[in-house]
Amino acid sequence: MEDRSPVPPILVSVVLWASTFPLMSVGLEYFPPMVMAFLRYGLSLIPLSIFVLRYHTFSELASILKDKWKLFVAVGLTAVTLPQLFQNHGMLMVSASAASILQATSPVFGVALGILLLRESATPNKIAGVSIALAGAVLLSMGDGAFSVGNGVFLGSFLIILSAFAYASSGFFMKIGLREHDPVTMTTLGIFVGTLFCIPFLFLPGEMAWFVAPTLGAAPLSIIIYLATLPTGLAMVLWFGALEKMELSRLMLFVYLIPVVATALSVAFFGEKVTPIMLASGALIISGVVLAQRK
């Protein structure tokens, strides 16, 4: 039996991640940045642990973590701690749609890391595809109206670009780990270590204030539970499962679809208007991704 195409689970991950941007903007009204990161990833460990313990004992997981601790420190920092630190603080200064567009710089870093460090092929289709999709993301940003000067927008944009680089770096470390371990194990242990590294940031004054009077209403709890289960636990397992079968430089190009999906969700659920720039940029992004996937 032939292996199933990794594209459907990749697209599920893209849709789930696209849905996080408007929800995170709302969530940051209730939670400080690193409190939200700690709760989101900490809660995701509950379903992930239940699943992974069907195949490994605690002692086996501890042994894997002990033997490969440097790898899991790298995965935890680049997949959880640093991107959440940069992205969540950046989203205090820029809109959700702008954040999703800025995250579209991640494939540029991913393609570069894949070619330079993993010795993946630098085909003409891949280079042309990443260029076309990046042009689409830039065009979409021009029509977004969120990149105006002032109010910390430049700093917020820079922080989100740093988070995009961290996410791309996590793909490199995960690719190495997936040579020996399955996606669920890698995801669970990586999130566990990354969540631990979030703890020191909880002692910062702005974060500590939340624990004095925590916001535990239905709306914030619903947001955290959703972020912890589908876009974190499920989406990461699906994404890293695809990474096991696909080059990092090819997989990262699907990130370009996130601002397209995020914009479509905003139109469908928040009544945003569709503009010619949205349609043109979406067509460029999708065509670039399709071109880059052609062998």
- Asked whether the predicted pLDDT for residue 274 surpasses 80, the reply is no
What pLDDT shows up at residue 253? 79
Span 186-209, average pLDDT: 96
Span 182-200, average pLDDT: 97
What pLDDT shows up at residue 151? 56
Residue 120 sits at φ, ψ, to 5 deg, of -80, 160
CB contact at 8 A, 114 and 249: yes
Q: What percent of the chain has pLDDT over 70?
A: 92
What's the Cα-to-Cα distance from 241 to each of 6, 55, 97, 215, 246, rounded to whole Å?
Answer: 8, 16, 27, 35, 9
What pLDDT shows up at residue 141? 64
- The pLDDT tens digits of the residues spanning 4-34 come to 778 889 999 999 999 998 889 889 999 999 9
What pLDDT shows up at residue 140? 67
- Asked whether the predicted pLDDT for residue 46 surpasses 80, the reply is yes
d(CA 66, CA 60): 10
pLDDT confidence band for 142 (50 / 70 / 90) = low
Nearest CA-CA partner of 154 in 88, 90, 107, 89: 90
- In this prediction the pTM is 0.87
Q: What is the SS3 assignment for 271?
A: coil
Query: What is the largest distance, in Å, between two alpha-carbon atoms of the chain?
Result: 57
Q: Among 110-124, 128-142, 226-240, which is the least confidently predicted range?
A: 128-142
Alpha helix locations (H) across 55-120? 58-67, 69-76, 82-90, 96-102, 106-117
Span 221-231, average pLDDT: 95
DSSP characters over 214-241: ----HHHHHHHHHHIIIIIIIHHHHHHH
What pLDDT shows up at residue 12? 94
pLDDT confidence band for 66 (50 / 70 / 90) = very high
Q: How many CA atoms lie within 13 A of 33 on its CB side?
A: 21
The letter for the amino acid at 67 is D
Span 28-47, average pLDDT: 96
Query: Both tokens of residue 102?
Result: 């800025």
Residue 73 sits at φ, ψ, to 5 deg, of -65, -45
What pLDDT shows up at residue 45? 96
* Domain residue limits, the chain: 17-293
Task: Give the count of beta carbons closer than 10 Å to the beta carbon of residue 204.
Answer: 13
What pLDDT shows up at residue 53? 94
pLDDT confidence band for 1 (50 / 70 / 90) = very low
What is the DSSP-derived secondary structure letter of residue 253? G
What's the Cα-to-Cα distance from 46 to each of 34, 57, 167, 229, rounded to whole Å?
Answer: 19, 15, 23, 9
- Asked whether the predicted pLDDT for residue 191 surpasses 80, the reply is yes
Cα 39 to chain centroid distance, Å, stands at: 16
d(CA 289, CA 255): 9
Q: Among 78-82, 130-134, 224-228, which is the least confidently predicted range?
A: 130-134
